[in-house]
A = this chain, B = another copy of it.
């Protein structure tokens, strides 16, 4: 017998759709799970828009005040899918109301906020997770498995970047629906919290803690029209950010993110060089993992392009047949599946708030370093 998990969704943007799709599909492809998400309520300030969203996706009811949603008795778990500046307040209310929380990344605007959120959920004992979805792309999970099995040996280098090109035009405004990521008041930071946070989460997961960082940031377009005020205003976010770092395991890290890399839509890549093997991955061809194994016969060594679509690859036994790729959205289905499994087993669903706070610490140190032009310890 399956058991319902009644979801209250706050927000209906890009991420609202991606998460909802995860809830709706998990039962079809992971029928072995005990819990089944139920789309209980969707919430947003604009009553017409949230009704349209609920109709399209099948939410049973709507709210326009997130406090009401959080207080509803018929909600088991709240999905926080709103701009970063609202995460904390909603999360604290959820904790107070003993709701499970699935919070969109990054966890918070600041480390201080994040710490408050962690303490709240831990004190309340509510289940929590943060949507760093890229961990659950099968090729990335496979990378994790290889590292855990010791296939790479001592790690020397970790490099990652997340390159986009969608804000190059100076005509693009900032603020408001769809563009809040350009507004420092709503987003907290630019590419650091939006894109580098993904790179950092994966890195901490795959390669352990970061000891110190040294960063630079840049805002290429200094002023943009603000959608909320209608005026041309100073841009407060970082358009680009790069940093050097040392990991605790002695390896060197190099990270970069930008929205000004013409030709790259959403190119998140990472590469790890170990003594025995190296791996590479790239979001634009997310179903592949590149693997170089020094243990192979000398003349025949080469980077292997592994098409991660076999039944024995992570998560793939639940999908199609070898050679048939899945896409971006499936990472959210997998996150939901793992979340539901964690409810069965009573173990945390990583990354929890506490784990995601580590990413927040690195992000904050990066921004401080860029401002002060100094190395920052984490």
Chain A interface residues (CB < 8 Å from chain B): 14, 18, 20-21, 24-25, 27-28, 31, 55-58, 142, 146, 156-157, 159, 163-166, 168, 214-216, 218, 220, 240, 242-244, 246, 250, 252, 254, 256, 258, 260-267, 273-278, 283-294, 296, 298-307, 309-310, 312-313, 319-330, 373-375
A157, B260: Cβ atoms closer than 8 Å:
yes
Asked if residues B320 and A18 are in contact (CB atoms below 8 Å), the reply is: yes
Contact with A166, one of B322, B329, B330 (Cβ below 8 angstroms)? B322
Q: Tell me if A300 and B292 are in contact (CB < 8 A).
A: no
Chain B nearest CB from A323 CB (Å) reads 3
Q: Please list 7 pairs of residues, one from A and one from B, whose beta carbons are closer than 8 Å in the complex, sorted by A's number.
A: A14-B320, A24-B24, A262-B278, A263-B277, A265-B322, A301-B304, A325-B325
- With CB as the reference atom, state the residue of chain B lying closest to A267: B323
With A157-B240, A254-B254, A284-B325 already in contact, 17 other A-B pairs whose C-beta atoms are closer than 8 Å: A27-B56, A146-B300, A156-B240, A159-B256, A218-B252, A220-B250, A261-B273, A263-B277, A263-B294, A265-B321, A298-B312, A302-B307, A303-B305, A320-B328, A325-B325, A325-B327, A327-B330
Q: Are the C-beta atoms of A284 and B307 separated by less than 8 Å?
A: yes
Per assembly, the copies of the chain total 4
Rounded to whole angstroms, the CA-CA distance of A28 and B22 in the bound complex is 12
B contact residues around A56 at 8 Å (CB): 27-28, 31
Interface pair B260/A273, CB less than 8 Å apart:
yes
> Chain B: which residue is nearest A154 at the CB level?
B220
In the docked arrangement, what's the CA distance between A250 and B299, Å? 29
